[in-house]
Structure 1
């Protein structure tokens, strides 16, 4: 049957030319969008060894000097630190708080802040890389709040590592594989290539990899201590808490704000707001343009699919009408209605198959000119599927073909079904 169908397409090559050109253009454009979503969903599927669910950023601030409740005696450095610790104790003692952490605002999980470190292995200076430094006070449990785990999935806590050394650092697994691929990282030294004598750290442990954004890949991560001082309390540090899963997020938020708005009026401190880290993550995606980028690509994909369905449906509806004599003759010669539907649908799929090769030749130019985007790609991210361009090219073209094939079958089904239901005598009489 396939040989017969291809002969049919060749005999009607002039009428098939325009729909073939349209399928060619749509295939290339749709492939570009499919490639984008392929990389995006692949990156999202990569595990991130932390959990932002049930976590909250507690925003405490100081009253301005012109406020009527401002207390000048509570503004010196000693009172500031003492009152801040009282704030932390009040939050920690709240019945629904499971864990509390104080971290640098540059290290907000899911936030847009970034504090980078460029380090290398002291013993093998060719092993170097840059990544994000996560700064937090080790007297609070940052790892427990965000439920960090090892690569194997074992939960970790700040207490699992020795933070008594001011140069202590805990690294992610990707950093371990980058700097120490052949040995144990514990006790090894990482140093700055620019100032090796002044900036260096001792590795105290390894945790699982995390991603700065959900749509990117795991990155090199360095967890370092940043202890609370009177200088960084108000403008550099933030408080993070995790609530017990036994209570809903909505209820926790309402009850916590109602209670802590009174409890945290300590000295000149007051509760300014509470926001979930999932919301911060979503707002960051929007601010960085990722949300709008996804919406644009989604809209383009839907636009192409709807238009190809309408175009193919209209074209085949017309072609079936002018081929009623052929349909009637086939049915008079013994073809069943199922055979008619099958023939018309296979015609559409064969026409799509014909345009695949020239479409792929055009797409190769996009790849050659480096016009396709690979989210999260970097020199430290090797071995990921999207970096294997040949395999990625084949998979995305296969997905594009399947997507268009479904659209074509859906578009042809109605006119094909209508043609199959014609009586043979009526179809022959039409001619």
Structure 2
């Protein structure tokens, strides 16, 4: 039957060439749209590598130096101990599961520090995120090592070793060797201080709209705390994970319990925010942009559906006489529908061949999105499958409705109309 239908298509090539060209153009446009949405949504829903459910970020404030209760000339060592005391008191609160101090490391705040790592003659191509944290930071956000264990990361920082991401490991140890136990530096040269890598985490993404996942983490030692124990204390992030059963009106209850306890030296309990709420605010513009793109894509899809379905609807409706003739010659309605479906799908298949070549060229030239996902064979085939299935459904719908009605018309009437 396929050979017979190809012969019909070829014999009617003068009428089919315009439809074929239109299918090629629509297939390329639909492929581009489908690929864009697939890459964007795949990146959005890909796991972030950490968990922010039941987590909060709080900061300490500094009493105004003009206040009567302000204590002058507190030594840095005392300030460091006061920060550690504040962390310990937060950790001991019965509502808290884990607590940490960090600098430019909490998710979804848009605050970053970056450095370059070196290993012999190799270095990271770009500056990577620097996360300065206390060890329990990994427990707060449930980071995992490549072995699937949070405690590996915690113990590495407790030993004052570095934790790095898989991307950094791949860049500095390109032969597939493990980075654990090896040494890196923050400066180039033989005199640079070396730091031992204690663990490698799983992939930790920056947010749902980026593919940025290169980072290293180091322990927040007393030198860091000393620098921020004065006027810059509000830069420190006190991140906590709340026990799930206690996560109800947490901010109000925590303030009631801890305001007095965290009035230490010149410090007081300042801002407290839900990290999931921070995420909503931080990603709002990106989410709005994604929704706007989705509406535009939906509008384009509706137009494509109406266009392709309408063309095949009109084409099938125009062939009522042919359908009547086939019925009079003994073809059953299911056989006729099957032939027209096959003809439409063969036309689509013929149009997809040049469309595949065009998309391959666009992908190789970097016209398609590549910063979120490399243009791989799997991505190419997924885009092809989505495009082919959508167009096949449109063509089938455009044939089914008029053809189903036409095969019910008595052959004599259909021929008389023709």
Give the C-alpha shift of residue 222 in structure 1. Answer: 1.0
- Match runs of 1:27-106 below 5 Å: 27-43=27-43, 48-62=48-62, 71-73=69-71, 76=74, 84-85=83-84, 87-104=86-103, 106=104
Are residue 307 (structure 1) and residue 294 (structure 2) matched? no
CA contact (8 A) 1:312 1:412 kept: no
Report the number of matched residues: 406
What displacement does 1:158 show? 5.6
1:44-79: per-residue Cα shift (whole Å, max 9, x none)?
A: 57655422222222244346568xx87323895667
> Which one is further off, 32-41 or 306-315?
32-41
Q: Contact 1:145 / 1:242 at 8 angstroms: preserved in 2?
A: yes
DSSP-derived class of the 1:161 partner? helix
Structure 1 unaligned segments of length 5 or more: list them: 378-385
Distance 1:186 1:347, change over 3 A: closer
Residue 144 of structure 2 is matched in structure 1 by 149
Of 400, 403, 406, 2:390 maps to: 403
Instruction: Give the secondary structure class of the aligned counterpart of 1:152.
Output: coil
What is the CA-CA distance between 1:357 and the residue it aligns to?
1.9
Structure 1 position 309, deviation (Å)? 1.9
Task: Show the counterpart of 1:383.
Answer: none
Mapped partners of 1:196, 1:100: distance in 2: 38
TM-score normalised to the size of structure 1? 0.81
Structure 1 residues 89 and 376: alpha-carbon distance in aligned structure 2, compared to 1, 3 A threshold: same
Q: CA deviation at 1:343?
A: 2.4
* Structure 1 residue corresponding to 2:132, chosen from 127, 130, 135: 135
Q: SS of the counterpart of 1:72?
A: coil
Aligned equivalent of 1:116: 114
Distance 1:426 1:47 in 2: 61
Q: How far apart, in 1, do the equivalents of 2:23 and 2:133 lie? A: 55
Give 3-state SS (helix, strand or coil) of 2:191's partner. coil
Offset, 1:279: 3.6
Q: Structure 2 CA distance, aligned partners of 1:398 and 1:159? A: 44
Shift of the alpha carbon at 1:5?
Answer: 2.7
Relative to structure 1, the CA distance from residue 40 to residue 303 in structure 2 (aligned partners, 3 Å threshold; closer, same or farther) is same
Q: Shift of residue 318 of structure 1? A: 2.2
| Equivalent residues of 1:70, 1:268 under 8 A apart | no
Deviation per CA, 1:291-316: give whole Å up to 9, x if none.
Answer: 34533443343223222221233223
Query: Displacement, 1:147?
Result: 0.9
Question: 1: CA distance between counterparts of 2:62 and 2:19?
Answer: 68
CA contact (8 A) 2:316 2:399 kept: no
**Unpaired stretches in structure 2, ≥5 consecutive residues:** none
Q: Is the 8 A contact 1:60 1:271 kept in 2?
A: yes
Trace 1:30-429 onto structure 2 (pairs within 5 A): 30-43=30-43, 48-62=48-62, 71-73=69-71, 76=74, 84-85=83-84, 87-104=86-103, 106-122=104-120, 125-126=121-122, 128-130=124-126, 131-138=128-135, 141-156=136-151, 159-161=154-156, 163=158, 165=160, 168-180=161-173, 181=175, 183-194=177-188, 197-198=191-192, 200-217=194-211, 219-227=213-221, 228-229=225-226, 230-231=229-230, 234-247=233-246, 249=247, 251=248, 254-260=249-255, 263-264=258-259, 266=263, 269-276=268-275, 278-287=276-285, 290-376=286-372, 386-388=374-376, 390-429=377-416
User: Aligned partners of 1:272 and 1:74: how far apart in 2?
Assistant: 24
Change (3 A) 1:186 1:323: closer
The structural deviation recorded for 1:163 is 3.5
The 1-side partners of 2:219 and 2:341 are apart by 65
Per the alignment, do residues 309 and 204 of structure 1 end up closer, same or farther by CA in structure 2, a change over 3 Å counting? Answer: closer
Listed one character per residue, the Cα deviations across residues 260-303 of structure 1 (whole Å, up to 9, x for unaligned) are: 15632526523423122x3434443344xx43453344334322
Q: Residues 70 and 178 (structure 1 numbering): CA distance in 2 closer, same or farther, change over 3 Å?
A: farther
Distance in 2 of aligned mates of 1:398 and 1:419: 31
Contact 2:56 2:241 in 1 (8 A): yes
Using structure 2 for the length normalisation, give the TM-score.
Answer: 0.83
Deviations 1:112-162 (A, max 9, x none): 33322211223xx23644422211134xx1111111112132232664225
Question: Structure 1 residues 149, 414: CA separation in 2 closer, same or farther (over 3 Å shift)?
Answer: same
CA RMSD in angstroms, aligned pairs only: 3.3
Does structure 1 retain, via aligned residues, the 8 Å contact 2:324–2:407? Answer: no
